[in-house]
Amino acid sequence: MFKIDFIPFLINTDMKIVEKWFDSDTFFYDSHLPSKIPFSEIERLVTFPNSHTTVITCNGMKVGLCDYIMEERTRIAKIEFCLASDDLYTTIGREVLTAYITRLFNSIPAIKVMKYVYEFDHFGHTLFETYPFYKEGTLYSMAFKDNRYWDVLVYSLLDEELKGVKEVHTVDRTT
C-alpha cells in the first residue's frame, strides 16, 4: 500500500531535487514532452501565476511533480504530472493519478479534469486507457519530435465519473 501525498513546491530546495532526478541540465516536464525544456525554464513554469505546482510524495519520499491550471469560467482543470522515473509510472502511476484527481475535485470547484497525452507517450496511454478517462478526441500533428509530427490525444474525466473509479476501467458516455 502506498501513501500518496502532495506538498507545496519550494523553489529553493525542490529545484535541486528535480535536477538530480533527471541527472542533467535539462528536464522532461510531463515526463515525455516532444523536446527537452532547458532546466532554467522550470523556475518560470512552476511560478507561472495560474499554475499550482506541488511535489508528489510516496511513503514520505519525493517522487514527482504535479500541476494544474484552472479555467475559472468553465471550471475545467488541465493537469500535468511527472514522476522521477519511468518505473514509477507502472508501480504507483494509477495511485498518484487517483489521489491527485480526488484532491482536485475535493479542493477546487472543478467539474472536469483534462489531460493531453502525446501519441508517442507509452506510459501516458497505458495510464489513461486503464483509468476511467474518456478520450475526447485527437489534435492532429500537434507535436514535432524525431523529424515527424505526432498527434496529441485529449482525455477528460467529469466529477461524477470519478465516483466509479474503483469499479470502472473505461468510461462510455454514449449511453
* Region class of 27: left (phi > 0), else alpha (psi between -120 and 50), else beta: beta
Query: What number of residues does the chain have?
Result: 175
pLDDT reported for residue 125:
80
Place of cell 519525493: 62
pLDDT reported for residue 136:
92
pLDDT reported for residue 29:
43
pLDDT reported for residue 58:
92
Residue-by-residue pLDDT tens, the chain, 175 positions: 789 999 888 776 777 776 666 554 444 444 434 344 455 555 555 555 566 888 899 999 988 888 888 888 899 999 987 887 778 888 898 889 888 988 888 888 888 999 988 888 888 888 888 788 889 999 999 888 788 898 999 999 998 887 765 443 444 444 4
Among 7, 110, 24, smallest CA distance to 64 is for 7
CATH class held by domain 4-162? alpha beta
Torsion over CA of 31, 87, 64 and 133, rounded to 10 degrees?
70
C-alpha span between 102 and 105 (Å, rounded): 5
- What secondary structure letter does DSSP report for 29? T
Is the separation of the CB atoms in 36 and 23 below 8 Å? no
Strand pairing of 112-118 and 76-83? Answer: parallel
The model carries a pTM of 0.74
Place of cell 515527424: 148
Q: Domain extents for the chain?
A: 4-162
List of residues 6+ apart from 87 with CB closer than 8 A:
none
Among 10, 77, 82, smallest CA distance to 47 is for 10
